[in-house]
Structure formats: structure tokens, C-alpha cells
Structure 1
């Protein structure tokens, strides 16, 4: 039978003692929740409210000896998809009973960390911008900067060029490939614009083009 846990009373009491408390009412949902928490999935579209996807690196939330972990590229893609849609990613890593992080987990986190060291500005403190995606490209924004995050295809290959039809940079915009150290060129098309990626780029789980200033028409 349905049990009334008096959520309204619990929420009111908690917020009385801790003003500004945010709450995820995962059991029943409703008026008391400040954000929602999809588990083991990322919404297809932006939700329009604060949200956080809760996803495990392995198969379980708990520690499992010799668990099979997602590849670092998969984690980067999940992170990009989540942030571009305005969400937060909670990644469960399952430490051992001794509190140790398994070597497989550590390796994955170091790989993701290396990617973030180069491209983190396109992730941290950014906001979604419509359209959040176009083809293999996901968009984020920070102040007057827009980031186009290019994801590889299913075989891990990065395209030689990308075409974006949703908008066109204003005259004078600079395009920078994060980690490349030089500006890159673009050309206008009858609809939108095209960016050619330089040859010989190092392998990456996702490549980021930074637009400054973020003016479009």
C-alpha cells in the first residue's frame, strides 16, 4: 500500500533548519523537489529544470571485483551530452571495502582528467544554448564565448570539417581550437558556415572549437 511519509512536513522542517537547502525527492517527486535525477540515462532533450544524471562507471553502484568499466571516451561523451543539455553528471565509481579506487577506475578518471585539462573551459561553469546540438556537434556557452564540441563517429574518427547551419559568426569573430594554440579559419556557406579542422591533430575523445566573441546572426 502507498505510505504517506509526510514529505511536505519533512521538507518544511529541513528548510527551516537549513535555508537554501536543495532537495531531490527521488521516491515520489512533486512540489518539494528542486531538481530531478535520471538514473543510468541522459534525457533526449533539455529538461528546462535543474537536473543531474546519475550514472555508474561500471555495471553497479557498489564495488564489484573485476567490474567492466566504460571507456574514457564514453565518459567524455556522456559528460558533453549532459552539459550541453543543461545538466550535471554524477559518476559512480564504487570504491572497495577498504576505500580504495580500483586501478581500472583510476585509469579512466586520469584519461578523462587529461581531456578536461585541455577542454574543461567548454564544460565548467557553462550554460546550454539553443540549439544544443547539430549533427556531431554539441554547444555550450560562457559569458560572450560559445563552444562547439565535436564528437567522433562510432568508429572514433573525427571529421575533417564541420558544417553548422543554425547560425553564422559575426564579422571579426575568432575561432580557436582548444589545445591547438592557433586560430582556425571558417568560411560562410549559403546557409551557415564551415570549419575545416587542421591535419595532424592528436587523438581526442572530443574536439572543441571556441568562438570569440559569441556573436551570431
Structure 2
């Protein structure tokens, strides 16, 4: 079954809005694990406007499932990841001021850069994934960066799903097929929700992992975190 990694950035955003320690990010990470989440995802940014670097180090000792750190591979980020040694690092092309991830890597233009960064993480024994859109040339070129996985950027799918679900998922199926043939495992994330997740999963049966934050945390405000995690996992049952 496809694994569910829960992005807890929004928990940190709420905490930081008032200062102090509530809601407690470390408790949220532990709860995700105890409630059946297959992993925890965080995306620390240079200004620490949600997840802080210290949060990363606090989480490392308590995560027994999977810990995934997302971010732009600046020197500070690379240093953080190599010290924390998560199970997976997901590389995104976001500039520091970006509100949220909104594009995938140009793996042709950035091939050498990504190769160098990925080599550092491979040497440290950390699995790598790169955030990518459905451009088939970029997907094919991703294999030449030596990454282990790609993470498909699914906002376009979520946007178009309400208009025509078959047309919305078609580019992702094509991209996933190219990646699979190239020997890459496939993750996905961004704007996946209870409304659109099951259809996406059904159409990409070899999907290894989804990372979901905003929609899941919003649902948890109404239904509770434990129930929400279980509902999302049910969408991933083949």
C-alpha cells in the first residue's frame, strides 16, 4: 500500500503565530506516528516561519517510521539534513521567499547541481527524492541526477480534478510510467485531499508515498488527527 507521510508545517505555523510551544510540534510528530501515519514530513525554510531547525533535531530521536525533510538545497539546508540524517530528503526548487512549493525542478538545466547535491546525501546514506512536474523530458532526465525517487507536484491535478478527473490525472500517469521505466520510485504531493486522493492512487498503482499537509491538517481541525489520518490511509487502499 502507498505510504502516507503527514506534513506538520501547519502545526508549526499555528504555534509561531502566538509564540510559546502550543500546539506542540514534537507531540504532533509523535501523534502522527501513533495514529498510523507512515511518516512525518517537515519543510524548514531559512526564515523558520513554520518548522524551525531545532524542531528537526527534536523530532529525529522519536520518529521510528519515516522522517522526510523537504527543502531547497542551500548550504545551510544540506548541513541540517546531513546532521539530522532523516530517512529521506526531498529537494525542492523554491526560492527562500516562496510561500509554498509551486513548481518542479528543471532537471536538464540543473543536472550538474542536483548530481552534486544528491551525491552528498547518498554518501551520508540518505534516500533522495526530487520535486518535479509532469514534463516528460524533465522526468526522464531526473534519472541522470542519480536520485532514488521523484515527487510529482500534484497541484495541477488537484486544480483540474473538479473539471475533468480523467484529463487531470493523465499527465501524471504518463510521467509515472516514464519514471518507473527509468527505475525511479514515485512519490507525490501538494493539494492532495480526501476528495481527490483515491482517484490519483488508483490510477498510479505503483505510487510509493504521498506527502500531505494542508488539507489533512484542515480536516483534522474538524475530525481530529487520529480519525483524519485513518481516513486518508483508507483512500490509499488498492
The TM-score with structure 1 as length reference comes to 0.35
Larger Rg: 1
Give TM-score scaled by structure 2 length. 0.33
RCO greater where, 1 or 2, for CA within 8 Å and sep 6 or more?
Answer: 2
Name whichever structure is richer in strand by fraction.
1
